[in-house]
A and B are shown apart, each in its own frame.
Chain A
Amino acid sequence: MRKYFKNIYLGFSTIWIGMMITLKHLLFYKNITIQYPEQRLQLPERERNRLYVNIDDCIGCDQCVRACPVNCIKIETIKAVPGDKVGKTGETSAGKKKALFVPKFTIDFAKCCYCELCVFPCPTVCIYMTDVFEFSEFQRNDLVYDFTDLTKEQAEEKRKKAEEWALEMQKKKEAAAKKPPEKKVPLKPETNDKNKSDESPDSKSDDKPSKDS
Chain B
Amino acid sequence: MGILNKLDSKVEQFESGNIIITSADKLLNWARLSSMWQMSFGLACCAIEMMATAASHYDLDRFGIIPRPSPRQSDVIIISGTVTLKMATRVKKLYDQMPDPKYVLSMGSCSNCGGPYWEHGYHVLKGVDRIIPVDVYIPGCPPRPEALLEGLIHLQEKIRSQSIAKKVS
A residues near B (Cβ < 8 Å) are: 31-37, 40-41, 49-50, 69-71, 108-115, 133-140, 143, 201-202, 204
Would you call B159 an interface residue if the criterion is a C-beta within 8 Å of the partner chain's C-beta atoms? no
Contact sample, A vs B, 23 pairs, CB 8 Å cutoff: A31-B56, A33-B58, A36-B58, A36-B149, A37-B149, A37-B153, A40-B146, A49-B140, A69-B116, A71-B119, A109-B139, A110-B109, A113-B116, A113-B141, A115-B141, A134-B147, A136-B151, A136-B154, A137-B139, A139-B137, A140-B127, A201-B119, A204-B119
Look across to chain A and name the residue whose beta carbon is closest to the beta carbon of B11. Answer: A138
CB <8 Å contact, A135 and B119:
no
B residues near A (Cβ < 8 Å) are: 11, 56-59, 62, 109, 112-116, 118-120, 127, 129, 134-141, 143-147, 149-151, 153-154, 158
Most buried by A among B11, B114, B119: B119
**What distance in Å separates the Cβ of A144 from its nearest Cβ neighbour in chain B?**
10
Chain A residues, CB < 8 A from B109 = 109-113
CB <8 Å contact, B57 and A111:
no
> Given the complex of chains A and B, what is the CA–CA distance between A69 and B121 in angstroms?
13
CB <8 Å contact, B57 and A33:
yes
CB <8 Å contact, B144 and A133:
yes
CB <8 Å contact, A140 and B115:
no
CB <8 Å contact, B57 and A138:
no
Chain A residues, CB < 8 A from B119 = 70-71, 201-202, 204
Look across to chain A and name the residue whose beta carbon is closest to the beta carbon of B118. Answer: A111
Chain B residues, CB < 8 A from A69 = 116
